Chains A and B, each alone.
Chain A
Amino acid sequence: MEKSYAKQKKMIKLRRNLFILGMLSIALINFLVFWVYVNVDSILMAFQINTRQGVEWTLDNFSRFFKEVKMPEFELGLAIENTLLLYLVGTVIGLPLSFLFAYYLFKKVPLSSAFRVVFFLPSIISAAVLVTLFKYIVAPSGPFNELLSVFTGKEMYIEWVTDELYSMKTILFYVLWTGFGGNIVLLSGAIFRIPEDVLEYAKIDGVGMTRELFSIIVPLVWPTFSTLVICATAGLFSNMGPVLLFTEGQFKTMTLGYFIFDKVSVGQYNYPSAIGLIFTFVGMPIVLFVKWAMDKAFETIEY
């Protein structure tokens, strides 16, 4: 009797282990192929160049990068600068703004439900569509320049997208203009989850809106906020922004992400792999520092 019970228990355990393995198998295979293999291959490719004789092992890709990054004509220095600008505008400025937007939506600004739908539009509509419409609006003979002409009384024919003076600024404006939506959903979700009692008690104690925001909402929503900041920081150097759709990297709008994307789309693998490896190492301490700083700022509160 005891033996058959033990056997039955063993069978259950075996079945459970098989179930667990089955449930995880697809994700694990994907991880092994598209993360482990791909990253190992990336590292190897960074140390290779293709010659007529075949593949040659070398450090040339790295030395090429450190040489070209100093030469303005290769636009690598510019790409780094633009990538940091995208992070500054999209994350450092954009995320706190998203948070403020989410808070005031929660505070029931008149028409808040309608605003929530409209603010999320840039996240549900393809960047291909939005960029296209934006480009036609700011086109030299488009409505934006027409309006400027009316207000200034002068004929305005500014090439906002194709003039090097304005093109990156236009892209940065677009990134900020359309960057709220997706984050508002997650941040609103976190704010709406805050227990009603907490805010009611604070109100009874005479806590005003500013104190409610900074002393109650911010600490409670911090885990979600810091998750968004950390993820954005992790994607800092691979974020190509809407550069492909706007300018394909022309007019001084090159970013690191687009530089790699562009090289890959024309069949060059080794050099972009080396650049990727360099910026993975540059990015790692930055992400760890940001995570450490975010964890230090507020203690996580379970609710």
Chain B
Amino acid sequence: MEENFKRKSTKEKIVLWIVFGIFAVYAISLLIPFVWAFFSSLKTDDEYYGKVFSWPKDWLFSNYVNAFSQFKVGNVTFAEMFVNSVWLAVGGTLVSVMVTSMTAYTVAKYEFFGSKFLYKLAIFLMVIPVVGNLPATYRLIVTAGLDNPIGILVLWTGGFGMNFIILHGAYKSVSWTYAEAAFMDGASDSRVYWSIMLPQAVPVLVSVGVLSFIGVWNDYQTPFLYLKKTPTLALGIYQFDLMQQYRSNIPVYYCGVLMSIVPVLLLYCFMQKTILTNTVAGGLKG
């Protein structure tokens, strides 16, 4: 579907070159903070405050090693925050994708009492502007003792939301013929789901999963409220930033900040084509 630039008319080419200019400026503006942070991360603290635009005098790659011991929030080290992030992102993603997949598949493929209602409910939950349920959620989580890295996974067991819409659309478009053939051969509903239908939805599941992983990895509000004792990197960066008011170690801080983005950056670079071709949300009918 992608069009060839050379085959376009002169007028279109001019428009596209102008857009290219705008895109280039915007892209550079997005990259500059990271380039600047990278060079700053290789300086000493005095150098950092001395001249903003100077190159590092000695390229201190050792700052990255030091970040593992010096990038600390309370007693929690960078490595521990990294592990906390991995746990929450992997656990939250697995729970969220599996529950949403099961819900979307059942609603999309089975006619049962309330199936249409459930689809409408999913839409309703997305559009109803509930504003103030955070206090009640917070009280429930804390009272039930779920404010720990394992218990908090319960927050990702909701089967509805935008991922439901995407997966519902995906399962709707998967042919039911293979399932019918399998039922004729005596396969159970569960077998059909796990062995026939789920594998066909893997590309969409992967793209939804990658986006969920990125979302949980970057979430600082949930750890801020519920996981203060086991901070993730996203929360750690915020807390370490607050600590800079009392003691300064900016280059090491930049090292931690830059290292924290590597996993999601790699994940996205490898998966961006899958995400783009499989992340399709239709309208909110109902």
Contacts and interface: CB of A to CB of B under 8 A. Distances in A.
Q: Do A and B bind each other?
A: yes
A1 interface: no
B214 A124 contact: yes
Given A16-B189, A108-B4, A136-B250, 14 more contacts: A15-B188, A27-B102, A29-B157, A30-B157, A34-B137, A37-B136, A38-B140, A115-B27, A126-B260, A190-B280, A192-B276, A223-B282, A273-B136, A280-B130
Contacts of B37: 133, 136
Interface in B193-251: 193, 211, 214, 217-218, 220-221, 224-225, 233-235, 237-238, 241, 250
A143 B36 CA distance: 9
Interface string A283-303: 110110001000000001000
A41 B283 contact: no
Interface residues of A, number: 109
Interface in B1-27: 1-5, 11-12, 15-17, 19-20, 23-24, 26-27
Contacts of A107: 3, 12, 16
Interface string A69-81: 0000000000000
Interface in A114-154: 114-130, 132-137, 141-143, 146
Nearest to A25: B102
Interface in A72-130: 101, 104, 106-111, 114-130
User: Is chain B's interface secondary structure helix, strand, loop, or mixed overall?
Assistant: helix
Given A192-B276, A231-B162, A263-B135, A23 B102 contact: yes
A150 to B, nearest CB: 10
Interface stretch (B56-64, B67-75, B174-182, B261-269): B261-269
Given A141-B52, A185-B275, A190-B280, A284 B126 contact: no
Contacts of B1: 106, 192, 194, 196, 199
Contacts of B137: 34, 38
The 8 closest A-B pairs by CB, nearest first: A276-B132, A27-B159, A223-B283, A283-B129, A126-B218, A269-B135, A133-B33, A41-B136
B278 interface: yes
A254 interface: no
A226 B283 contact: yes
14 contacts: A23-B102, A27-B102, A31-B159, A38-B136, A107-B12, A117-B269, A118-B31, A119-B23, A133-B257, A136-B40, A137-B32, A209-B12, A238-B129, A300-B285
Contact of A108 (B3, B33, B221): B3
B49 A141 contact: yes
A30 B98 CA distance: 14
B23 A104 contact: yes
Given A16-B189, A38-B133, A231 B276 contact: no
User: Is chain A's interface secondary structure helix, strand, loop, or mixed overall?
Assistant: helix
A165 interface: no
Interface residues of B, number: 102
A256 B134 CA distance: 12
B261 A256 contact: no
Given A137-B36, A227-B281, A126 B220 contact: yes
A111 B20 contact: yes
Contacts of B53: 143, 146
Given A45-B136, A124-B268, A31 B158 contact: yes
Interface string B153-182: 011011110100100000000000000000
Nearest to B106: A23
B78 interface: no
A284 B132 contact: no
A29 to B, nearest CB: 8
Contacts of B150: none
Contacts of A287: 127-129
Contacts of B136: 37-39, 41-42, 45, 269, 273
A127 B220 contact: yes
A141 B40 CA distance: 14
Contacts of B225: 264-265
B261 A126 contact: yes
A291 B93 CA distance: 30
A209 B285 CA distance: 30
Nearest to A265: B225
A6 B164 CA distance: 36
B66 interface: no
B134 A24 contact: no
Given A109-B23, A245-B238, A264 B29 contact: no
B82 to A, nearest CB: 13
Interface in A1-25: 15-17, 19-20, 23-24
A116 B276 contact: yes
A193 interface: yes
B148 interface: no
A277 B284 contact: no
